[in-house]
Amino acid sequence: MFRHGRVKEAPSILDRIATAIKLLLLFSLGGLMLLGLADSPSVANLLAGLRPESPLVGLIAGHWQNDSGAVCPDGLQEVEINLAIARKVADLLRKQGYRAEVLPEYSPKLNGYRAAALLSIHCDSCIELSGFKIARMTHSSKPELEDQLVNILYASYAEATGLKPHLNTITEAMREYHALRRIAPETPGAIIECGFMGGDRYLLTEEQDRVAVGIVNGLVAFLRQQAQVP
């Protein structure tokens, strides 16, 4: 004898809405996790499809995870600019086939750090001056190589941004910058002050793509030059 089974009730509208909200939250959480991992150099380079043997460039976002750096009267912080520029530089380098990682100011990885090049990215004080400057460590183990890096960066950055070098404000702190003393001797390194947060504020905040291109063009030219050295 045929018996009727229990008819399963269709989900109510409220049940469907609740399920949709749960799925949306899961997708959002997954997206946030992916964005967080994108700051990891290994993940970022993997997403860019780069091979482990691609030349590596280290980029220090000045003051990141340490302090604010210079601060303008309206609250604009140097570290915000440094980090934004460093990330743009890393992204452009990856698009050109290089591995790149953005490091905090005092990353433990800097001890004996090995890379095709390392550049620490900073901005200058919030005063009404204009210009940029680049320096290597005074007692470099490879002064000629690092002079090449510095000189190429000077040319490319000036061309891309229109800024002029401000050489008379290069400080001993730049020439003795802590990270340049910690990296491996064979890693060519330099520090750049991309401009003054006062006089060059528009460039540093509204035209960061130009800033990044100026840095990337110099780094790529240097790396290509070294690739041709027997």
Q: What does the alpha-carbon distance between residue 187 and residue 177 come to, in Å, rounded to a whole number? A: 15
- The H or E element that residue 156 is part of is helix 143-161
| pLDDT at 57 > cutoff 70 | yes
Q: What's the pTM?
A: 0.81
Q: How far, in Å, CA of 167 to CA of 97, rounded?
A: 33
pLDDT at 141 over 50: yes
pLDDT tens digit sequence for 152-178? 999 999 999 999 999 999 999 999 999
Question: What is the predicted pLDDT for the residue at 1?
Answer: 40
Residue 93, burial from CB neighbour count under 10 angstroms (0-12, 13-18, 19+): buried
- Contact status, residue 148 vs residue 222, Cβ threshold 8 Å: yes
Quick one: which of 160, 86, 74 has its CA closest to 123?
86
Q: List pLDDT tens digits, range 180-216.
A: 999 999 999 999 999 999 999 999 999 999 999 999 9
Which whole number is the average pLDDT over 216-227?
Answer: 97
Q: Which residues, at least 6 apart from 217, have a Cβ–Cβ distance to it below 8 Å?
A: 156, 159, 160
Please state, as a whole number, how many other Cβ atoms lie within 10 Å of the Cβ of residue 160: 19
What is the DSSP code string of 91-147?
Answer: HHHHHTT-EEEEE-TT-GGGTT---SEEEEEEEE-SSS---BEEE--TT-SSHHHHH
